[in-house]
Structure 1
């Protein structure tokens, strides 16, 4: 595993050394291989600082110590022939885990007409619009509370996907866990979205996604961090739920972009069906946030929202998010939490982004109110 990590890092350094050039505001490490193929290197490095204040009652102050460090150190390499195939490998050196490792086959070049694409390998499960998008495009430092609780991560499987200007659809089957040896079991998942407006700066996206999982572990744990990442504290947490036979996940997603303004939201639910007479358990929540790009640009869109690309040297985006998660269900008292998050993103060209978030959290679990405030900063470099 260490050898594979070193190979990826060495490849990136070699590509950087071979690159001539270019404008620091638009860095791209791509190398043609002959007339038809292209080798591309990618990276996403994010350094965070988290600070905490107003810890309130029922909180161990030592658990919320201020902290600084890398949140992500992602590297990747891919080989591509346009309209035929793309094989990519990505690894997060900070978490020491494999990310997407997959082969994508495009029917347009292979069959002469577009009837969709087939992806084989490890990739993200589709429920959780905010979580399924690329981490480099994250509008806030961390995903909203319900996305953290419901999103199932990456699994090994196969997916068929088809996109048209006004809609998209995909169906996936996951079997065999992930490359880290976890998440054993089977999952059937699907996602579809209607996008009657699909132009630059003018987007309306309405979608639904769902999955049915049968975990080999027969266990599930639902919890969420307080929307900053350099802490292991969870204010809401069901603990490990035993006897789980089937896990159902459902998400409704929406995105509206109109010039410099945008709205994005989701409603999410996860339900665990348990055997041996144990009570079924459900967790549910949602979020909504608004964004204003002060400098006048628009958020990008490729089936998910993407970063703002500055029209000149830089762009400034201001955001406000409300998120809510309810993990109380019958005898299971995981708690309820609602967060308000103020955000600001400063984009320096295509490759550099500075982010600041201030989170007002309010959680109640077992009758105890916990309402800390958290401040997060991020410096991100990606290509």
Structure 2
């Protein structure tokens, strides 16, 4: 009750601090006379998971999912510096400096970013955690997306295409894990790129080369939760794959937005190359989903990715809900993952997910999902039904 009362008080408090309101941008940043923007960034998510038909394997849960807090300094068109930490998982998230060469040098040589950031293979994976259509990413994204690594990447962004190349060479990530290095690339053709009208077709690939650590050989592992975020049980799991020499990942992605409708899909695979005569291991999967925004808004697309209906310095009107009580969105997704390969019985799974999202203003979001999961591993079937809810605050 105290939380709701605090939210109710925000409009009057904000309006007293210089034009901010509950519906618009909250007073979390200041802009200097030269245009330098300094502010606090936060993402708070609290989730609820309920399971049925699982034979008692899963436990109902409700807790915090993410607690990001960070700071940023940016100057439009020139640079941005971002430092962010997840106090729930106790690990660093996006922490980098990005420079736009045209604004800095007067010549457009692309955008350069150095630091700890997301690797590009996996369309859902590189989407902001605050902006995902479903509460959890699809099965193949969980299994194959590499996550964040530290290094340098370069992006050449044009309205009709994009090129993104990265070399992640720092020996370990910011949490001291994942020793090794990676190279990655992503290209996309965007023949239609207007507000509310988008066609995006992309390809991506990477090679991760892990290193020995404290005398222990590197071991890859491919696995996924049944599209819930609070359990520790994976229904499909390759197990540890020791003596991994490198991991090759590939992706094919597509996005179509037409007014309040959208379609998005992706095929992903990974191949683990192992030393010492051990067999290589491969896995593959895909997902496809459709969305319909009942209140008429379009999904927001920029620089090769989708974003939530919240603050954007480019064009707030594109993503602000057209109604004072927010935007309502319905979504359905099908996903499939296969980790059976020869002697490695990682299992296979396919899921259907129904989702509903309520975007209340620019900073509040409420989600509900129902997942029907069907899995089999080593001739054992587990088919849980999962009900999920999330409340989110982000700025």
TM-score, scaled relative to structure 2: 0.89
Match of 1:118 among 97, 108, 112: 112
Q: Which residue of 2 aligns with 1:266?
A: 266
Match of 1:136 among 123, 130, 134: 130
Equivalent-residue separation in structure 1 for 2:209 and 2:373 (angstroms): 33
Does the CA-based 8 Å contact 2:266-2:286 persist in structure 1?
yes
Offset of residue 378 of structure 1: 0.4
Equivalent-residue separation in structure 1 for 2:328 and 2:77 (angstroms): 35
Equivalent-residue separation in structure 2 for 1:315 and 1:368 (angstroms): 42
Higher strand share: 1
- The answer to whether 1:356 aligns with 2:350 is no
Equivalent-residue separation in structure 2 for 1:185 and 1:191 (angstroms): 20
CA separation of 1:73 and 1:19: change in aligned 2, threshold 3 A: farther
Equivalent-residue separation in structure 1 for 2:105 and 2:20 (angstroms): 37
* Cα deviations by residue, 1:22-67 (Å, 9 ceiling, x for unpaired): 2112234221234231102211111100000111xxx4x1x41111
Greater CA drift, 199-208 or 33-42: 33-42
Equivalent-residue separation in structure 1 for 2:68 and 2:24 (angstroms): 19
Q: What pairs with 1:104-183 in structure 2 (closer than 5 Å)?
A: 104-175=98-169, 176-183=171-178
- The answer to whether 1:336 aligns with 2:348 is yes
* Cα deviations by residue, 1:316-341 (Å, 9 ceiling, x for unpaired): 10000000000000000000000000
Equivalent-residue separation in structure 1 for 2:293 and 2:78 (angstroms): 36
Q: Which residue of 2 aligns with 1:346?
A: 358
CA separation of 1:19 and 1:265: change in aligned 2, threshold 3 A: farther
Give 5+ residue unaligned stretches, structure 2.
1-13, 213-217, 310-319
Q: Which residue of 1 aligns with 2:291?
A: 291
Q: Which residue of 1 aligns with 2:315?
A: none
Offset of residue 315 of structure 1: 1.1
Equivalent-residue separation in structure 2 for 1:177 and 1:195 (angstroms): 35
CA separation of 1:20 and 1:70: change in aligned 2, threshold 3 A: farther
Offset of residue 310 of structure 1: 1.1
TM-score, scaled relative to structure 1: 0.92
Offset of residue 131 of structure 1: 1.0
Q: Which residue of 1 aligns with 2:49?
A: 50
* Cα deviations by residue, 1:69-121 (Å, 9 ceiling, x for unpaired): 11011112111122221111011111111101101111012210222011011
Offset of residue 238 of structure 1: 0.7
Q: What pairs with 1:94-105 in structure 2 (closer than 5 Å)?
A: 94-105=88-99
Offset of residue 19 of structure 1: 5.7
Equivalent-residue separation in structure 2 for 1:260 and 1:82 (angstroms): 29
Question: How many residue pairs are counted as aligned between the two chains?
Answer: 362
* Cα deviations by residue, 1:168-222 (Å, 9 ceiling, x for unpaired): 1111000122100011101010011100111111000000111011101421011
Q: SS at 1:137's partner residue?
A: coil
- The answer to whether 1:237 aligns with 2:215 is no
Q: SS at 1:109's partner residue?
A: helix
Does the CA-based 8 Å contact 2:291-2:329 persist in structure 1?
yes
Equivalent-residue separation in structure 1 for 2:140 and 2:285 (angstroms): 5
* Cα deviations by residue, 1:287-343 (Å, 9 ceiling, x for unpaired): 000000011111111121222431122111000000000000000000000000000
* Cα deviations by residue, 1:113-151 (Å, 9 ceiling, x for unpaired): 222011011101111100111111010010000000001
Equivalent-residue separation in structure 2 for 1:121 and 1:19 (angstroms): 35
Give 5+ residue unaligned stretches, structure 1.
1-15
Q: Which residue of 2 aligns with 1:207?
A: 202
Equivalent-residue separation in structure 2 for 1:231 and 1:24 (angstroms): 34
